[in-house]
Amino acid sequence: MRNIRCNCSLRAKLNFINKVLKNKNKFSSKVLKKNLDADFQKEIDKIKERSIIECPNTNEICEVFETPNMGRGIRAKNYIPPNFCIGCYIGDLRKNKDVDEDNWRYSFYYVLNGYYIDGSKLDSITSLINHSNNPNLSIRNEIHIADGIEELHITFYTKREIQPKEELYIDYGPEYWVYAEKNGIRRDTKQRLITEYFNSY
């Protein structure tokens, strides 16, 4: 299964990224600025230097569990060393205008301006990673092989040693909280999510 699913009209967008990664000098700065996230543009050379690998199976490394106050989350099954890839964010490529009340919680930025990955189908348990202001996972863009095709994937790496049964966190970023506040979700002093939503989930 490919990490990123999309209809035929959007496949060209993913192909464009692959072309840029192979030789960004073929594209003008104007074209790159129009189509690609600024942070990604700075990262392109680093991505090209990394090894191309198969997507790891998150289910072999982590498990879903019920948290005390945030609904479901994921935690390590066993010890995980630092700088270890636990998996990718899997979902549908969608335009930002398509974010709605059903999928906003699972929308994850992508490197294309105006697009995001919708993980609301929960094809991967990485969609259930909760937020912390002091996360133990970092987020990277990497080239992975999916169904024999090279794709740019959103990946999660451990920032430090992770102990067995320890919950995994990322920093959702400021854009997430814009949608969260509209839906009654706020951050508490423990850097976690607090909302009545989870009481009925």
Angle between helices 8-22 and 38-49 (to 10 degrees): 60
Specify the DSSP element, H or E, that contains 176.
Answer: helix 174-182
Residues of the chain with pLDDT below 50 are: 189-191, 194-201
Distance (Å, whole) CA 10 – CA 99: 16
- Cβ neighbors of 42 (< 8 A, separation 6 or more) are none
Three-state SS sequence of 55-81? CCCHHHHEEEEECCCCCEEEEECCCEC
pLDDT in tens, 59-117: 999 999 998 877 889 999 999 999 999 999 999 998 888 777 667 778 888 999 999 99
Specify the CATH architecture of the domain 4-173.
Beta Complex (2.170)
The pTM of this model reads 0.86
The whole-angstrom distance between residue 159's C-alpha and the CA centroid of its chain comes to 15
User: Can you name the residues that pair with 155 across neighbouring β-strands?
Assistant: 88, 140
Predicted local confidence at residue 48, as pLDDT: 80
Distance (Å, whole) CA 106 – CA 120: 5
> Residue 100 CB: number of other CB atoms within 10 A?
12
Domain definitions of the chain by residue range: 4-173
